[in-house]
Amino acid sequence: MFSKEMVRRGSQRSVIRELFEYGNQRAKIVGRENVFDFSLGNPSIPSPDWVGQELQTMLQTQTPIQLHSYTSAPGAEEVRRAVAEDLNRRFGTDYTADNLYLTAGAAAALSACFKALTTAPTDEFVAIAPYFPEYECFVCDGAGAQFRVTPPETETFQIDFDGLEACLNTNTKAVIVNSPNNPSGAVYTPQTAERLAELLRRKSEEYGHPIFLISDEPYRELVYDAPAPFLPNYYKDTLVCYSWSKSLSLPGERIGYVLVPPSLTDSAQAYAAICGAGRCLGYVNAPSLFQKVIAQAGGKPVEIEAYRKNRDLLCEGLKKAGYTFTVPGGAFYLFPAVPGGDGEEFCRRAMKQDLLVVPGEGFGCPGHIRISYCVAEDTIRRALPIFERLMQEYQSQP
Amino acid sequence: MFSKEMVRRGSQRSVIRELFEYGNQRAKIVGRENVFDFSLGNPSIPSPDWVGQELQTMLQTQTPIQLHSYTSAPGAEEVRRAVAEDLNRRFGTDYTADNLYLTAGAAAALSACFKALTTAPTDEFVAIAPYFPEYECFVCDGAGAQFRVTPPETETFQIDFDGLEACLNTNTKAVIVNSPNNPSGAVYTPQTAERLAELLRRKSEEYGHPIFLISDEPYRELVYDAPAPFLPNYYKDTLVCYSWSKSLSLPGERIGYVLVPPSLTDSAQAYAAICGAGRCLGYVNAPSLFQKVIAQAGGKPVEIEAYRKNRDLLCEGLKKAGYTFTVPGGAFYLFPAVPGGDGEEFCRRAMKQDLLVVPGEGFGCPGHIRISYCVAEDTIRRALPIFERLMQEYQSQP
């Protein structure tokens, strides 16, 4: 009577959401402060003050009609223009309002891209492990296409290029990358970006059609050491999916975009397909009040110092406790290997102590766990002894 | 390279959105006040004062983390509870938070329903003309199912039951109704609701599986004469898709819900399927700040007096000018028959005079036009002479 697939997707929610709900339930029992929830990417740095001030000013100076009416489906033109100008300033590009389609967050942006690019059920989208597990859901059940995964390169969490090349074939529609990466925190180096572009150019030529690059970059500004290469400047057939969820700490408000650069093959047609896909998926316009907020974001600094502090504290504590990991250059995730080599087992043991972390299995990278360190510093301090204890447990009863 | 269907959907935007964009372009040339735009359902009554006040209070008294974080995917539990309690008060029902899935507006709610119910590409969804044209897009390209239309009953714009029965077969998954109706403004009578329920019960029994009723009711509170029957109280297998776009004049903010009543066959499974569908379509949670706003809406009056005044003014003027129509009992649309019998031709003639109305053809009801009277009263006063002139033109050059 109902789609079995949708019932499954709705019942076995994403592991991350599941843990989040579990944490909420536990918090009611043992108290919020005694649940060490490192499961969800809910930013702990509050939105910058200017966001709240801007909202208040708008509510005082603009009419409800100006604030809350429908906008054009791709977003208000002046907002798209402001976003284009900010990108141009930062990346030396020449984008206009017509290259931007505002969306209800990055999930909507990605969904629109997959849907727009899918021409046959045999079309393939390739993610690089570790990857955000919802991709699979959007590709297979949203767009009705095939999802493939390139095995992880667990030394540095850059790209296993042999593995990626082996995944490509004439059915490949696009490769999905996510740098800074959720869950590894890795930021691609310029060398990785260059090599990726070179590979995609070579294979596009070989297959006689472009392989698109879908760059999912909600963490673009959350970098601690070096900036993330802006991929459209490396590879012309790049679609960028962005969200202000993390940079402005507005995840609940659902505001982001698809960038369809003019360099893209048949750019205007691609843009039309994105608009059509958004429409068919039930999107009307990105939330209007927050369109106006993000129009003001250009040029303002993104606050990351609290995350940097958390990263350093967590890295130091986990290293001392005997965990091995790559120090993350961006985002707010740490992705250590676990003792025993079974991420799910580790998470189960951790849950018993009200420590919530996400197994790497769901990200296509077994034997690891994702620790979201977008939490209060105190939570890390109080959780470190639990991480230590778990390591000791494994050492005494592997 | 791109989905032809998505390019088409994105290039030939909905006629309504097309007219809206055309109006914006013309406004730049002749001035906003000289474009008589009756094309879009953008409410002209501003959001009630309490909405702006509530937003300001929340911004002053709650932290950004409380306001803008992810909520549970179906919406914050306390918000869903508040909505359930409001429905229970008004309709004598016994809903809980677990019967509600908050969405980014009614379009998202409908899309999730279609996707959740579709088990095979031969599944059929039946709309009753005149109907909101985006249904077809959501059903065919969003959910990959079939879309069928019951011909209109143009005397009273209730239901042609013989026509509806002829549309039903073993593949019918659901019937979509919209009362108060866009574009006719008709509100179903209790008799219509009863007869519809009786027909669906009979056919469900005949086919051995329930035919669901999807009640799209963003205009529920916008009624002038009699209330709209609350359909789950007439037919147990009713899914309600709601939006606060019209009742609180917040169309740009995208906030609504799917109600999955406990009376629905396998209600829990249906709810899971809705959650799964939302997830696969790229929805994460309904916008968080406006979840908190609508939690406060229960029990507050909905302002409709300006629309009633507009309706009466427009009905009187058009009647005098010789147009024929059914007086709308709800929503903010008037749907007259046009001289000449060709709605598209009438709209073209009207556009030349910067009068924007929508042809009935797109709603499955040729020979009519939709006039959205959610505009300033003055716009109606100044547009009436144009309507008169058009009628005279038709009389002199049919």
Tell me if B59 is assigned to some domain. Answer: no
From B143, B77, B156, select the one nearest B108 (Cα to Cα).
B143
pLDDT at B16 over 90: no
Collect the ranges in chain A with pLDDT lower than 70.
13-14
Tell me if A59 is assigned to some domain. Answer: no
Per-residue buried b or exposed e for A91-126, using 16+ beta carbons within 10 Å of the residue's own CB: eebebebbbbbbbbbbbbbbbbbbbbbbbeeebbbb
Token pair, residue A90, equals: 């930062």
Let me know whether B216 and B307 are in one domain: no
Query: What is the number of other CB atoms lying within 10 angstroms of the CB of residue A206?
Result: 11
Token pair, residue B255, equals: 């906030």
Q: Which of B111, B119, B251 sits opposite A282 (nearest CB)?
A: B111
Let me know whether B287 and B311 are in one domain: no
The pLDDT value given to residue A41: 80
Let me know whether A77 and A209 are in one domain: yes
Contact between A164 and A126 (Cβ < 8 Å): yes
Tell me if B58 is assigned to some domain. Answer: no
Q: Does A18 touch chain B (CB under 8 A)?
A: no
Tell me if A276 is assigned to some domain. Answer: yes
Query: What would the mean pLDDT of B214-224 be, rounded to a whole number?
Result: 97
Let me know whether B179 and B311 are in one domain: no
The pLDDT value given to residue B147: 98
Contacts of B3 in chain A (CB under 8 A): 115-119, 273, 276-277
Let me know whether B285 and B364 are in one domain: no
Tokens 């507009």 correspond to B310
Which ipTM did the prediction report? 0.95
The rounded distance, in Å, linking the Cα atoms of B176 and B145 is 14
Let me know whether A319 and A238 are in one domain: no
Let me know whether A119 and A172 are in one domain: yes
Tell me if A226 is assigned to some domain. Answer: yes
Tell me if B232 is assigned to some domain. Answer: yes
In A151-233, at which residue ranges do the beta strands (DSSP E only) sit? Answer: 172-177, 212-216
From A149, A135, A150, A141, select the one nearest A121 (Cα to Cα).
A141
Tell me if A378 is assigned to some domain. Answer: yes
The rounded distance, in Å, linking the Cα atoms of A158 and A151 is 11
Let me know whether A255 and A357 are in one domain: no
Q: Does A63 touch chain B (CB under 8 A)?
A: yes
Assign 3-class secondary structure to chain B. Answer: CCCHHHHHHHHCCCHHHHHHHHHHHHHHHHCHHHCEECCCCCCCCCCCHHHHHHHHHHHHHCCHHHHHCCCCCCCCHHHHHHHHHHHHHHHCCCCCHHHEEEECHHHHHHHHHHHHHCCCCCCEEEEECCCCCHHHHHHHHHCCCEEEEECCCCCCCCCCHHHHHHHCCCCEEEEEECCCCCCCCCCCCHHHHHHHHHHHHHHHHHHCCCCEEEEECCCCCCECCCCCCCHHHCCCCEEEEEECCCCCCCHHHCCEEEECCCCCCCHHHHHHHHHHHHHHCCCCCCCHHHHHHHCCCCCCCCCCHHHHHHHHHHHHHHHHHCCECCCCCECCEECCECCCCCHHHHHHHHHCCCEECEEHHHHCCCCEEEEECCCCHHHHHHHHHHHHHHHHHHHHCC
Tell me if A57 is assigned to some domain. Answer: no
Question: Number of C-alpha atoms within 13 angstroms, CB side, residue B221?
Answer: 20
Q: Does B6 touch chain A (CB under 8 A)?
A: yes
pLDDT band at B13 (very low <50, low <70, confident <90, very high): low
Contacts of B2 in chain A (CB under 8 A): 116-117, 119, 266, 269-270, 272-273
Q: Which of A63, A73, A276 sits opposite B6 (nearest CB)?
A: A276
The pLDDT value given to residue A13: 63
pLDDT at B273 over 80: yes
Let me know whether A258 and A355 are in one domain: no
End-to-end CA distance of chain A: 46
Shortest CA gap A113–chain B (Å): 10
Q: How far is CA A231 from CA A176, A197, B29, in A?
A: 12, 9, 39
Domain boundary among A242, A261, A294: A294
pLDDT tens, position by position, B79-136: 999 999 999 999 999 999 999 999 999 999 999 999 999 999 999 999 999 999 999 9
Token pair, residue A135, equals: 């991709």
Read off the pTM. 0.95
CATH number of the domain to which A217 belongs: 3.40.640.10
Domain boundary among B275, B294, B313: B294
CATH number of the domain to which B22 belongs: 3.90.1150.10
Q: Which of B138, B266, B279 sits opposite A280 (nearest CB)?
A: B138
Compute the count of residue pairs across chains A and B with CB atoms less than 8 Å apart: 284
Let me know whether A351 and A389 are in one domain: yes
pLDDT band at B42 (very low <50, low <70, confident <90, very high): confident
The rounded distance, in Å, linking the Cα atoms of B341 and B107 is 31
pLDDT tens, position by position, B345-397: 999 999 999 999 999 999 999 999 999 999 999 999 999 999 999 999 999 97
The pLDDT value given to residue B146: 98
Query: What would the mean pLDDT of B51-77 be, rounded to a whole number?
Result: 96
Domain boundary among B278, B294, B310: B294
Q: Does A251 touch chain B (CB under 8 A)?
A: yes
Let me know whether B23 and B166 are in one domain: no
Contacts of A272 in chain B (CB under 8 A): 2, 6-7, 10-11
pLDDT tens, position by position, A332-357: 999 999 999 999 999 999 999 999 99
- CA closest to B56 among chain A residues: A56
The pLDDT value given to residue A18: 77
What is the total count of domains within chain A? Answer: 2
pLDDT tens, position by position, B317-348: 999 999 999 999 999 999 999 999 999 999 99
Look up the domain containing B269 and give its range.
67-294
Let me know whether B218 and B322 are in one domain: no
